[in-house]
Amino acid sequence: MCLAIPGKVIETYREHDVLMGKVDFSGVHKRVCLEHVPQANVGSYVLVHVGFALQCIDEAEARRVFEFLDGMNQLDELQTPSEADERARLAT
């Protein structure tokens, strides 16, 4: 299943003439292409799939989606290695 994960844009910049951003996913920061959402700026919330922001959303919607994905255990790639190890240990 392919999922888009909400995150908050904390920095924008151009890289090789492509609009990019640093996006915060509940404490994990990732580099994201913002070309498909040129209206996104610092403080905007975006839905991100495989490194591309696909849509801007409001903060309340971002929170609902993030909580839903967390409840379905679909946020593993956003965990630090120690968090993933702890979750795996608790599951056994």
- pLDDT beyond 90 at 26: no
By the 8 A CB rule, do 18 and 2 touch?
Answer: no
- Residue 66: which H helix or E strand, with range? helix 59-71
CATH at 56: 2.30.30.140
pLDDT bin (cut points 50, 70, 90) of residue 38 is very high
Nearest to 55 by CA among 6, 1, 3, 19: 6
Tell me the C-alpha to C-alpha distance, in Å, between residue 7 and each of 34, 60, 76, 91: 12, 12, 15, 27
**pTM exceeds 0.85 for this model:** no
Domain encompassing residue 14: 5-91
Considering its fold, how many domains does the chain have in total? 1
